[in-house]
Structure 1
Amino acid sequence: MGDPAGVGPEITVKALAQRDAAFRRRVTVIGDRAVLARAAKITGVDVPLVDPDDEADGIRVTHVATDALPDGFGVQDPACGEASFRYISAAVDHALADPRRCIVTAPINKASLNAAGHHYDGHTGMLAHLTGSKSSWMLLASEKLNVLHVSTHVSLREAIDRATTERVHETIRIGHAHLTKMGNPAPRIAVAGINPHCGEGGLFGSEDDEAIAPAVAAARSDGIAVEGPVPADTVFHRAYRGAFDLVIAQYHDQGHIPIKLVAFDTAVNVSLGLPIHRCSVDHGTAFDIAGTGKADHGNMQSALDYAERIIASGR
């Protein structure tokens, strides 16, 4: 359910209340029962909270206890960071036990998480650690634009260093494999350049020629339909217009800005490269409106829909 003081509890109960009973029977919310009950009251949700093995209709809850949770919403608190970590840990245990399961995460607060002593850059890094994965990738998926990142929550200076031939090549392969398994037999992939105009033949930097172009060539040798490096100021527009099924972005803002411009309320955050399935809303805890019942749960519905697609793909 995400951070107990954020909008996660609200969007979770609102989204599940709008689903039919058959769908609700397939979902278990991992979180705090009292917080979820408070969120249901605030939002006017009248679907009852029930135990995971209850035969009656309702929102199934696996309660994970955490001491000293705040009584309200909209606050940054280490106890909420500890709770978020415990919810994710429990979800990972469930997912590792049954590969047919998919985790759908509501937003957490990175400052609260780190204040609780869990030093991760967010969900993706935490999930990689909890599953013993060497690497992981963030895909932002939407109806008309899909973006997979070579790196995410690092400084721009470090992101440039991480854009190695090996990492870019592996990112292309991971993206191709995911789209193929999701039903696209021949995905068209574009790799964004890292420098203006892809370096203009070395005038604005050599990284595109020395690191990214060889990765694209290697992926083509693998039989992948990939083009690049393509100047970042045009590639996202071309993909949005239908020229590509996926864009490989070299760093966080290069990929996040265009997709949040065109799919702010519908894009889904998908973790790739892990032994489990996980997708998420693509927004934060919104402390400024948490507890008011105003939070839009449409993005959570999109994440639940994508989780169904993952499960149906048999990944």
Structure 2
Amino acid sequence: MTNRAPIALTQGDACGIGPEIIAKLFRTPQAVGCFVIGDVAVQRRAVASTGGGLVVAAIERAADAPDVPPGCIPVLVPPGLPVDLMAAPIGQVDARAGAAAARCIEQAVRLARGAEIAAIVTAPIHKEALSAAGVAFPGHTEMLQALSVDAGAPLPPVRMMLANDELRTVLVTIHLSLRRAIDAVTFDAVLQTLRISQQAAARWGEPAPRIAVAGLNPHAGEGGLFGDEEIRIIRPAIEAARAEGIDATGPFAPDTVFMRARRGEFDLVVAMTHDHGLIPVKYLGVEQGVNVTLGLPFVRTSPDHGTAFDIAGTGRADASSLLAALEMARRL
């Protein structure tokens, strides 16, 4: 990694486990070529809570990251961090932590758009803390989408994919109430998701992925008995995608299609709503799960778990999902 652009790890919510899993990651050889965007004091506290033994040093540029010696965590401090961030209580929602998380994401995108880094790996943020800080985005995905283009420019269509070694799921709708998400399942949204999924799979070496499309209603509508979105919207979108050469099939019953994909019948599943798609992947274990934002002009991955306020500060957090996210970023 030393002769390539480094990978940036955003620190996430300072009151959660993000800084701790970053500290654990830097105790592995996989951290070579990475640096943290965040607060130096917060990262030192996380090192102490996870056993010490690492030095935390501020760097001025992303390009300085490969020059730090082994056993050192390089931290690039973004502008605008709250000066009293360390006063935010660990394990609680705090506007200061939300504001700091947003500043880290903003800096990471600036570096990615300037080609100063190879990818962004984001530690978990807390949506309530973001909101308390006045950040007008419900989560990472929407914020990264808006920051990836100049103000006033059309937003790139993006989708969330959650993946592990057994299952990959791409979502048509993301952070919406269920009532609004159903309305957001349109022909264009489904077809666009299939196109984005096809393009993303080609990036990781699968130019012709077998894509299963899950229905919206129980039993995929059962021929219109339990809802007609499959007939009116989803099936026509699949047919349009197939006319473009995309190997998409369905719609299949949401309660069985993930099992079929896990057994190897499909390479990925497109699901209509957030929980339809993410519950099966997370049930298999968050330790190896990776969240990937598809459609951005840069690579972004993250662990598939949250801030885990209940164990923050204890040093017990597992860094496996962050490590998997880093490895996925390198593959992409």
For the aligned pair, the TM-score class normalised by the smaller chain equals over 0.9
Aligned to 2:265, which of 223, 243, 246? 243
Determine what percentage of the aligned residue pairs are the same residue: 47
Compute the RMSD of aligned alpha carbons. Answer: 1.4
In 1, the alpha carbon distance for the partners of 2:93 and 2:68 equals 37
- Residues 107-159 of structure 1, C-alpha deviations (whole Å, 9 max, x = no match): 00110101110021110011111113243210001111000000011011111
Normalising by structure 2, we get a TM-score of: 0.89
Identify the residue that residue 4 of structure 1 maps to in structure 2.
Answer: 14
Distance 2:117 2:318 in 1: 28
Matched, 1:116 2:129: no
Name 1:60's counterpart in structure 2: 74
Structure 2 distance, partners of 1:3, 1:221, is 44
Name the structure 1 match of 2:7.
none
- Tell me the distance in 2 between the aligned counterparts of 1:284 and 1:305: 19
Q: Does residue 289 of structure 2 align to residue 267 of structure 1?
A: yes
Structure-1 separation of matches of 2:69 and 2:25: 18
Equivalent pair of 1:99/1:276 in contact (CA under 8 Å):
no
Normalised by the length of structure 1, the TM-score is 0.94
For these two proteins, the number of residue pairs brought into alignment is: 307
Aligned pair in 2 of structure 1 residues 263, 37: CA closer, same or farther (>3 Å)?
same
Determine the structure 1 residue equivalent to 2:323: 301
**Residue 115 of structure 2 is aligned to residue 94 of structure 1:** no
1:178 aligns with 2:200: yes
Q: 1:211 aligns with which of 206, 229, 233?
A: 233
Q: Distance in 2 between the 1:141 and 1:187 partners?
A: 14
Matched, 1:167 2:179: no
Letter in 1 for 2:104: Y
Whichever residue aligns with residue 49 of structure 1, its letter is: V
Moved more, 133-142 or 251-260: 133-142
Assess, with a 3 A threshold, how the Cα gap between structure 1 residues 97 and 227 changes in structure 2: closer, same or farther. same
Q: Residue 190 of structure 1 corresponds to which residue in structure 2?
A: 212
Q: Could you tell me how far apart the structure 1 residues matched to 2:286 and 2:126 are? A: 19
Unaligned runs of 5+ residues in structure 1 are 311-315
Closer, same or farther: CA 216–264 of 1 in aligned 2, 3 Å: same
In 1, the alpha carbon distance for the partners of 2:18 and 2:54 equals 17
- Are the equivalent residues in 2 in contact too, given 1:6–1:73 (CA < 8 A)? yes
Q: Distance in 2 between the 1:45 and 1:213 partners?
A: 55
Distance 2:49 2:218 in 1: 48
In the alignment, what sits opposite 1:313? none
Amino acid at match of 1:16: F
Match 1:44 to one of 48, 51, 58: 51
Corresponding position: 1:255 with 2:277 = yes
Code of the residue aligned with 1:73 in structure 2: it is I
Q: Find the aligned partners of 2:307 and 2:129 in 1 and give their Cα distance.
A: 11
Give the letter for the 1:48 counterpart: V
The answer to whether residue 180 in structure 2 is matched with residue 153 in structure 1 is no
SS in 1 for 2:120: strand
Q: Which moved more, 1:197-206 or 1:282-291?
A: 197-206
Q: CA deviation at 1:100?
A: 5.8
Q: Deviations over 1:180-237 (max 9, x none)?
A: 1101132100000011112112111110000000100011011111111111111000
Alpha carbons 2:170, 2:197 under 8 Å: kept: yes
| Whole-Å separation in 2 of the counterparts to 1:176 and 1:100 | 25
CA distance in 1, matches of 2:76, 2:240: 46
Amino acid at match of 2:229: E
2:122 to 79, 91, 105: 105
Alignment of 1:223-238 (within 5 A): 223-238=245-260
The aligned amino acid for 2:133 is A
Q: Determine helix, strand or coil for the equivalent of 2:85.
A: coil
Is contact 2:40-2:57 (8 Å) kept? no
Q: Where in structure 2 are there 5+ consecutive unaligned residues?
A: 1-10, 150-154
